[in-house]
Structure 1
Amino acid sequence: MTAIISGSVAFDTIMVFKDRFANHILPDQVHILNVAFVVPEMRREYGGCAGNIVYNLRLLGETGVPLATVGADFGSYSDWLERWEIPQTYVKVLEDHYTAQAYITTDLDDNQITAFHPGAMGEGHQVKVPTDYPDPIGIVAPNGPDAMVQHAGQFHEAGIPFIFDPGQGLPMFDGDALLRFIDQATYVAVNDYESRLMQERTGLDLEGIAAKVDALIVTRGGEGSWIYTGGERLEIPAAKAEQVADPTGCGDAYRAGLLFGLGRGLDWRTIGRIASLMGAIKIAASGTQNHHFDLEGFRARYEAEFGEDLPV
């Protein structure tokens, strides 16, 4: 199995403000807002949906192929991917761009102010979906809008089964565009909020969306997830996390679990549990690519969590 991942590759610069924004932003003065926050804590993380998914797949012993465009500042991230033996054949460096980056400042109440620069991500359509990998499976994750449209069409034309995972990119598309994605996709994966927005824009309820694909996956945070397939809805329990440190990237870890299970030909009940456990492992670590395990350790955790052997 080769997983081909269309999605963003980005740097996340995360800063902690040791106070509360509410103490410095006056509600009646926001029309002339001019504030500066001293942030004694800062870290730079490797992120982006494609980067996070391929990293999680690597932990499971699988190799994912990211399709992405990055900027001239990509060097340290490239070294990180090389360290994990993640191929960069279809990661295109655009020397006149910056790599996509998010600047996130969090206060003591966990409020966040974020600025996002898409940079090279907006040129993701310059990379084409490869068709020469054995037993491929794909995913269209949040990326530049043109790249999402193009890669979905290319997966479909090549007969490569793929997951449509619009994520935070969903608001960029109207109902007709979303229906085209659904018609092309083999599977659809959304969180609860995204599922509501997708229903509103397409005019289809969850059962209607599920009828168009092999499976519709709806993640529901601590309440687990639903998998609609074969005319029924499977209830997937949430795995227990050792601690709740940082939810950022949990959805990407979950999707890596989906790709892993699909590539191994497992049943949906097992696939959902694998994905659930991946999310629980990720949420216990700060940052999106700072958790570590190997497949043997994952097997042991799966058995302890669900009381059954992982059948791989």
Structure 2
Amino acid sequence: MTMKQEGCYAVLCWIACTSTRVQWSESGPKSKPVTKVGPVVESLRMAPRFVLCAVLCYVSLCLVWTVPTKADTCDPTTTTACNNGSCYAHNGLEVCVCELPWTGANCDKTMSLCTKDCGVNSESGLDCQTALCGLGSCTDSNVPPYYSCTCGDFYSGSNCEIQSNPCSSASSNPCANGACTFASGKNSGTVTCVCDDGWEVPQGATSTIIKWGNSEVLMGPPCSQQQHRGVANLALTLTSGEMIIWWIVFAISIIALVWCCYTVCAETCSKYIRTIGRVRAGAQAVGAI
């Protein structure tokens, strides 16, 4: 116990005992107001009780309440070695208090925030690299914040939390009149356009490859052509196989139409010829009479 700690105990006991006015009767302790008498007589009468109160208070504090003090530095002649920290001795135990980013009993190991020291519970299914850098790669560092993220070409930010690809900005949508979707790979990416209603990709349009940082991105054709409803436009959008089937159906329909017309016309003409024949035969019979 230090002298400073003993002094604190003495002050506490003096305050406690001088504020307590307790008189002792023959039957035991009994709290009641002190009779007003002269200051000298009252002080003499209170002195034994004050001494008893102070002794009991001081002993109680020493036995029950031990105020912790700052640990002392270690003896330099001991075997404890704190390579990257400070050694402190407390109650006969020497402890190393490490400086960041060092850890271990002797401060001789470096923390690895990217693998195990980030505070993430592995049972949650999330690892430290993903928690700190998302889809980027994490590297331990000796300077605050003791890790760094390499985000690649498709992400940015200190924790790779910001998307950076052809589809991430609505103001520069490469799909024009459609929704832009981006799929990233290793040093590559693909942009696909899903056209809005009334818009389509022009027939014959092909994908192009652009450079995005150090990566290559395959850009799908934009939705730059308005759709026109109708058979002619539909025929232009058919594949070669569908075109063959369409023409076969069209030819069969024409043949069926011609056959129907021929059948109807032949029957009509036959009736007309028979009617004319009957009229002529009737006229000849009348002339003979």
The alignment's TM-score, normalised by the length of structure 1, stands at: 0.15
The structure whose Rg is larger is 2
Which of 1 and 2 has higher RCO (CA within 8 Å, sep 6+)?
1
